[in-house]
Every structure is written in C-alpha cells, then in structure tokens.
Chains A and B, each alone.
Chain A
Amino acid sequence: MASIESIVRDSQPLKGPHVIEYPFRRSCGPILSEFFGALREGRIVGIRSKTAGVLVPPSEYDPVTAEALDEFVDVGPGGEVVSYSWVSKPRPLQRLDHPFAFALIKLDGADASMLHMVDVGGDESAIQVGMRVAPRWSAERKGHIADIEAFVAEADAVAAPPVLSGEDKPVRAIRTPLRLEYDFTAGREQTIFLRGLAHKMILGARRPGDDLVYVPPRGADPRTAEPTSEIVEVSDKGTVVTYSIVRVPSENIDLELPYVCINVLLDGSNLPFFHVLQKCELDEVRLGMRVQAQWVPDAELSASVTSIAFFAPIDEPDVPYEDFKEYC
C-alpha cells in the first residue's frame, strides 16, 4: 500500500501528449469570397484602396482610413520576391516537406505584397530578393489560399490547369482546421493527485494548518493566495451537490446516452469534484444522495482520472440540503 509520503516523494511531475483540434469553418464575406472564387478559377484578384494602392489578398477596408473597398483588380499571376525567410527544416504543419522559403511577393499590378511560399526545389541559392515568380497551381482547387501550392521561378510556371471539381457556386466559407500538439506538464500538485489515483487514493491539498481541502489540489488557496502544500487523503465516498443529465453525444466520450454528470463533495473535501454517476435510474438522481467511487480493476489503475470508472449510489441516508448548500 502506497503512503502519501511515498507518492509525494516520488512525484516528478507528469508529462504527457495533449492535442487541441478545432475544425474551424470560417465564413468569407463578399470580399474574400471573390478572392477565393478567383483562386478556384486559377486567377488572383486584389482590391484598390486610396491610401495603399492595390491590396492582395483583398481587404474589406482601407488600412489607413477604414473606408469600405469594392473595386476588384486582376493581378499577377507573376510577381517579384520582396523578402524571404529560408525554412531549412519544415515543421509538421507546414505544407512543403522539403526546404522552402516563406516570402512576401509583390504581384504584377499590386502595390502591397502577399505572404506565400516559394519552392525552388530545396536550393537556397536559387532564391533572391527581386526574383520573378509565378504560382504553381493545385489541380484540385476548392477556393482556398493553398490552391496556390507555392510560387516557383516564373520560367518554370505553367498556366493553371482547369479546376477538377467544376464547382462555380460562390465560396461562402472555407475550412481552416487546426491541430496543435503539446507535451503537457501537470505541475507538482496535480501530479500528486494523479499518482494517488493509481493507488486508489484521492489526494487533495490545503494550506498548512488550514481546514479547507481542495480536490483536485490547485496549487494555491484562492482565499489567501498561499500555497496548498499540505497533501491530505480524502474519502472516495461523497454527497451529490449538483448534477446534470446529458442527452447529446460528444466526441471522445463513449458513454451510453443519457448519462449523469455529478459534482460530488467527497467526505473530507471542500471542493466539489466532477465525475459521472452510473448504476442509478435517472429519476432517482437527487441532490444530497450518497455515492462512492467505483474503481477500475487493479491491473487497469493508472495516474489518471479514468482510474475511477464512475460513481455509484450507496445505501446511506441522504444528507440534508442545509449541510451542503454552500457547495451547490
């Protein structure tokens, strides 16, 4: 049996992969809709402004006066490299897998330059400021900035192939999915909490000598701004102080619908703890009911909240509302 002391002593903070994904769908508005529609056709359009000349990509407004803009102008497709950075080691999210340049390119007929990529086959000596470039078009254009795969030396460029989709409806929205990968660190106290779960222990923390115990521990006591450095074990039994019944599916949650989420005030703790309640009819769920953590089999225990499979009702009298109302 692990002791609190051994868990605290061994707790080199946990690290783990953490991924954030958003499937953004962005509405374009009339100006960018025109720009993306033109890209799909293998053309580039800019917009005329009074103070900064022709802007590419077109902007909805003048960068100085904020006046609305509406005069589209065909530009390019050729242009000149104004500045560039040489990416010798492309990152996973970047669109070319061999060395390339990010560049500001001033297209023929434009006054402002646009940011895009220049592909010179990985040879840095083949690019310089002032170089003439033109787009290498994607064959599968859909109305997106990446319809231009990259700019290439003008002599190597070919005319845009006809678009495969044959789509000609206005581009009202574009997909710009986002996926970021992190190596997340749990910090000292969260690590202790997580490691405790691997031993079927629920560990909280309090300010030394204080009476309020936070589960999970938060690192500091919000009442005093002092560290919650004293680690305390609390019971795996508690009282439901509020709940909700979930009837809509969410990604990454494979519970059968409907299911019950509870805030449970564990005995010995002063901060309600969020988990799932099962083995309970929906019309039986109520504030004040007594529940207990149901742990996964010992072989499956790990430093994770998934070590608690769910909470289930236990045969103890309900706690009166007056006794827990400040936690609701």
Chain B
Amino acid sequence: MRDVAIISFAQSNIEDDIRSEVEILQPVAAEAVKQSGMARTDIGFTCSGSSDWLQGQPFAFVMALDAVGSWPPIKESHVEQDGAWALYEAWVKIQTGEVESALVYSFGKTSPGDITQVQALQTDPYCVTPLWPDLDSITGLQARACLESGVVTETQMAEVASRSMRDAMNNPHAVRKADRSPEDLLGEPYRVSPLRDHDCPANSDGATVMVIASAELAREHSRRPVWIRGFDHRIDPPALGVRDLTQLPSAATAAEKAGVAKDKIDFAEVTAPYSHQEVLLRNALGLSDDLKVNESGGSLAAHTLMSCGLNRIGDAAMRIAAGNGDRAVAHAGQGPCLQQNLVVVLEGE
C-alpha cells in the first residue's frame, strides 16, 4: 500500500444558499487548492460526488467542473455518492501509481426541492418508491425498531441531539446550533413519530473540497500530513424488510477491514443524519461510550447531502493536522437507514 495523506480541506454549508452550484463550489475549491500549496494544474486527478436529483438540475455535475477548472483537459471522474466515495476512488487511483495527487470535491444543493421526499428515489422503484415514503418516515421505521428492542432510548436520542447542537456552537460551518438540554428537547412534538425535528438532519446547501497526495508530495506541502491508514466501504441489502435495522453489519465490516481496533482512537466523526444512528454507529464501529464523537456537531448541525460524509473525514483530518489528536476514525454513510457505510482511519505524522 502507498502512503496517502490529506493535505488540505475546505467546506461551505449554508441554509437555502441562493447561489448556483458553480458559485457555491468555486470559492471552496480555490481555498482548498491554495491551502494545499500545489498548483491546480499539478494535481493529477479530479474526482467528485453529487446527485442532480437533489436540485433538479440535469448535468449539474458536469457544469460544476467549471468551478474546479477543466483546462487544459483534466483526468476526471464522478460518483453519484457522497464525496467520501469519490475520495475512495481517488485514493485507489493513487494506489495504482498512475497519479501522485488528487482533488476530491462534492456538493449538494437540496433547498430547491423537498429533499426528504426526493430521497424516496433511492428505494426499490417497483415496490417502494411508488408509495412515496419520505426519508423521515423510512428512518422512523429504524428508530422505532431500535426503541422497541432497547438498542436505543428516546433519552439517548435527545442526548445525542443536545450534545451535537451544543458542540456546533463552536463550528462556524454548522447551521443548527443551540444550547438545549435533553429534557427540554424531549418536550418537543414529533415530526414523524418517533422522530422529533432535532433527531433529523439539519439540511443545508454546500460544497466540500479536499486535496490528497502521496507521501513525498504530502511531506513537501504539509506541516503535518494526515495519513489514510485504513479505508473500506461496504453495503447492506437494499430491501429494508430483509435487514435487521437495529444493526449495521456493513459498517461493522468496514470498520474491521479498515483496522479501527488496531490501536487507540482519540476521537471519531461519523455520518449519523438521525440521532439514533450515532448510537448504532458507536456499536458497529466498536467505539467506546466515552469516546468523543462528532465534535463538529455532525449531520444534526449541518447536513449537506453528498458532502456530509466527506466533511466528517475533513473535519477529523483538520483536527489531527492542528495537533488535537493523533488517530481518528471517520465514517460516511448513505442510503436508506445507513445502507452504505465507509470507514477511514486517519493518523497524524
């Protein structure tokens, strides 16, 4: 395996951003490229993650290339997944030895549509989408299954939300921040029972850009390179009724393959768009109850769909780069009830 490090990262999350995708992405890309210390045209590969369904703009993913520069012609690829999966592809590209560096980006502009409803499109198009279950309802099935089986309690869900919104007060990129106790939150009405508003993602529009490089370049351009020491992604079956929704076997397998348990972990950043999912991820990734998780506030504080997973990885990397920890776990999850899970283990130089 080649050593690959994250050498720069930038993000933007804004509620109802009225700019176009290109206008949202361009300044974020410029910042990440500047931080990397590399010339844009020296970066070997460009890989992105986005979905045109979110804003209803066909070929938005093609137009977005203007914002990162596409001339002279670049080597480029796109996944219709969170940018974390674009990062995986870029990492593999460097592993092949074909390139030494990559620019990874993602963007999501969900405010133009009913994003909770639009996500019914990721379900079985024959037997599920025609019933138009919105994502809150689909995830509510998982939350209730967890509550009924005792895997999670409503108090735990409120504690996750309370802590996330409180931590978000220190995160300039968060859009939902509040100082509210779990008891207070439990007094709120249900949005889609058993979920309350604060149990659901804080949807935002935004973009994320990261530059990664092989060892020699990383040491040249970064004071403290953040090494990708383990990287894996897995998927559970698509039919909700086939899965035990109180468990995330694909996340557990990804964590095992990425080597999460090989050494001590200082903190974790996980993609848990719904509060109960943080508890499920702690269980699946083998994180201890007292481990600091989502100091960023996570998706309960800012959830730019297609970018939030890459944001968790970037947030973790920047904390290590700043010397606030040496080894961290970052997770990205997508699909109904976290069907798809990606785990990366990061270590500081």
With the chains together, A185 CA to B20 CA distance in Å?
7
**Shortest CB distance B94–A (Å):** 21
Q: A225 near B137 (CB under 8 angstroms)?
A: no
Q: A218 near B66 (CB under 8 angstroms)?
A: yes
Does B242 sit at the interface, judged by CB under 8 A?
yes
- CB < 8 Å: which of A26, A106, A184 contacts B125? A26
**Segment 3-22 of B: residues with Cβ below 8 Å from A:** 18-22
Chain A residue, CB-CB nearest to B27: A227
**Shortest CB distance A81–B (Å):** 10
Does A226 sit at the interface, judged by CB under 8 A?
yes
Q: A185 near B112 (CB under 8 angstroms)?
A: yes
With the chains together, A64 CA to B66 CA distance in Å?
42
- CB < 8 Å: which of A35, A113, A176 contacts B129? A176
Q: B23 near A188 (CB under 8 angstroms)?
A: yes
Does A30 sit at the interface, judged by CB under 8 A?
no
Chain A residue, CB-CB nearest to B18: A13
CB-CB under 8 A from A83, the residues of chain B are 141-142, 144-145, 148, 245
CB-CB under 8 A from B120, the residues of chain A are 93
**Shortest CB distance A192–B (Å):** 11
Q: B242 near A52 (CB under 8 angstroms)?
A: yes
Given A115-B133, A185-B18 in contact, is the A63-B242 Cβ separation under 8 Å? yes
Q: A84 near B144 (CB under 8 angstroms)?
A: yes
Q: B241 near A113 (CB under 8 angstroms)?
A: yes
Does A94 sit at the interface, judged by CB under 8 A?
yes
**Segment 225-253 of B: residues with Cβ below 8 Å from A:** 237, 239-242, 245
Q: 0/1 per residue, B132-146, Cβ < 8 Å to A?
A: 111011111111110
**Shortest CB distance B25–A (Å):** 8
Q: A144 near B130 (CB under 8 angstroms)?
A: yes
Does A85 sit at the interface, judged by CB under 8 A?
yes
**Shortest CB distance A179–B (Å):** 11
Q: A85 near B239 (CB under 8 angstroms)?
A: no
**Shortest CB distance A67–B (Å):** 14
Does B193 sit at the interface, judged by CB under 8 A?
yes
**Shortest CB distance A259–B (Å):** 22
Given A84-B141, A176-B130, A180-B113 in contact, is the A114-B22 Cβ separation under 8 Å? no
User: Can you name 17 A-B pairs with beta carbons within 8 Å?
Assistant: A52-B242, A82-B145, A93-B117, A94-B131, A95-B132, A102-B141, A104-B141, A106-B241, A146-B130, A180-B118, A182-B55, A183-B112, A186-B20, A188-B19, A189-B23, A220-B69, A224-B69
Given A83-B144, A182-B112 in contact, is the A104-B193 Cβ separation under 8 Å? no
CB-CB under 8 A from A218, the residues of chain B are 22, 63, 66
Q: B190 near A146 (CB under 8 angstroms)?
A: no
Interface residues of B, Cβ cutoff 8 Å to A: 18-23, 26-27, 29-30, 33, 40, 53, 55-57, 63, 65-71, 111-114, 117-118, 120-121, 124-134, 136-145, 148, 190, 192-195, 237, 239-242, 245
Does A211 sit at the interface, judged by CB under 8 A?
no
**What bracket does the count of chain A residues touching chain B fall in?**
35 or more
CB-CB under 8 A from B40, the residues of chain A are 225
Q: A176 near B26 (CB under 8 angstroms)?
A: no
CB-CB under 8 A from A13, the residues of chain B are 18-19
Chain B residue, CB-CB nearest to A94: B132
Of the listed stretches A53-61, A133-141, A159-167, chain B binds A53-61
Q: 0/1 per residue, A90-132, Cβ < 8 Å to B?
A: 0101110000001110100000111111000000100001000
- CB < 8 Å: which of B21, B124, B132, B141 contacts A103? B141
**Shortest CB distance B87–A (Å):** 20
CB-CB under 8 A from B112, the residues of chain A are 18, 182-185
Given A28-B126, A184-B57 in contact, is the A219-B22 Cβ separation under 8 Å? yes
